[in-house]
Amino acid sequence: MRVSLGNIRSIQVNIMGEVVLPGTYTLSSFSSLFHALYSAGGVNRIGSLRDIKLIRDGKTISTVDVYEYLIKGESSGNITLREGDLVKVEPYSKRIQITGQVKRPMIYELKANENLSSIIKYAGDFTSNAYRKNINITRRGDTEMQIFTIEADSFDKFDLKDGDVVRVSDILDRYENRVSIEGSVFRPGSYAIGDKIQTVTDLVKYAEGPTEDAFLARTLLYRQNPDLSTTVESINLGMLINNNLPDIKLRRNDRLYVPSQDELRDERNVTLSGEIKRPGLLLLRKKYEH
C-alpha cells in the first residue's frame, strides 16, 4: 500500500481584538496560534502580548503569554488551530519603561502579579556598570509627578503601575582605592591601595623607582581633601627612600609627581650653526607666565 498527501486541508479561523487586521482567515490545518497572529499583522499598539486567548466552541482553552515563549522558550500554549477557532487579543493592562544600566532597556508589559524584580528580569538584568543599591521610579500622579526610591531588598515587593518609568543609574565615576604616580619614574600610572601599597615608598617601589634624571629633593604630593579641594605637599623623596624621614601613608586619590632635573633648569645653552648671520652659542632662558 502506498499513501501520498494530495492537498492540505484548509480551515477558517477568526482573529479578533487588538490586532492590526482583525477578521476571518483561511489557514492551513497545520497552523498554530502564532501563525494566526502573524497572518493578522500582529498585535496593534494597545494589544497585549501577555493575554491572548484561544476560544473553541465557546470556551477558552488556552491563554498564551508570548513573553514565556520569547524569554523561556515555553511554547505549550502555541497549540494547533481547528476549524472555527477564535483568537482574541486583549488590550494591555500596564506597560512599564525601564531605562539606564540594564541589558535590554525598553518598554515591557507586566501582569497584575508582577513587580519591579520582574521587569529587571525581562530587561536582561543589570549591566556591570549599574548602581544596584536602589532604583528611582517616576510615576504620573493624579495632579503631579511622583518619584519613588526603592531599596534593593524591596525590589520583589514594589508593585508598578501603568506608565511608570524605571531608571537604573550608573555607579559613580570615581575610585575608592586609587593612587597615581607621574613624572620621572620608570612605570608611571595608577595603582591600588592594598596590602602591598600603603605608603609613598611602596608606591615608588611598584613604579620601579625614580629614573636617573629625577629630582628627588622636591617631589610633589597632590592630596584630595574631604571637600574635594586639593592641597600640595613638598616631599624630599630621596631622604624618604633612604629612611631618613618617616614614611607617608597614602590616601585615596593621592597623586605623586616626581620632577626631572631638566625641568628645573632656568637656563640652557643652544648652539646655532649653518647659513645664519650670527652662528654660535646662545643662552636660552625659560619663559614664565603669570
Q: Where would I find the beta strands (DSSP E) of 202-253?
A: 219-224, 230-235
At the topology level, CATH places domain 94-168 in Outer membrane lipoprotein wza fold like (3.10.560)
Report the chain's terminal Cα–Cα distance, integer Å: 106
Asked, colleague to colleague, whether 10-91 and 94-168 share their fold, the answer is yes
Q: Which amino acid is residue 221, in one-letter code?
A: L
pLDDT for res 290: 41
Superfamily of domain 178-258 in CATH is Outer membrane lipoprotein wza domain like (3.10.560.10)
DSSP letters spanning 54-106:
EEETTEEEEEE-HHHHHHH---TT-PBP-TT-EEEEEEPSEEEEEEESBSS-E
Q: So where are the chain's domains?
A: 10-91, 94-168, 178-258
pLDDT for res 276: 82
Q: What's phi and psi for 223, nearest 5 deg?
A: -125, 130
pLDDT for res 285: 60
Superfamily of domain 10-91 in CATH is Outer membrane lipoprotein wza domain like (3.10.560.10)
Top-confidence residue, 143 or 72: 143
DSSP bridge partners of 60: 55
pLDDT for res 265: 62
Evaluate if residue 251 carries a pLDDT over 90: yes
Over range 228-247, report the average pLDDT.
92
Over range 237-249, report the average pLDDT.
93
Evaluate if residue 4 carries a pLDDT over 90: no
Over range 244-273, report the average pLDDT.
84
Q: Please, which residues have CB within 8 angstroms of residue 74's CB and are 6 or more apart in sequence? A: 68
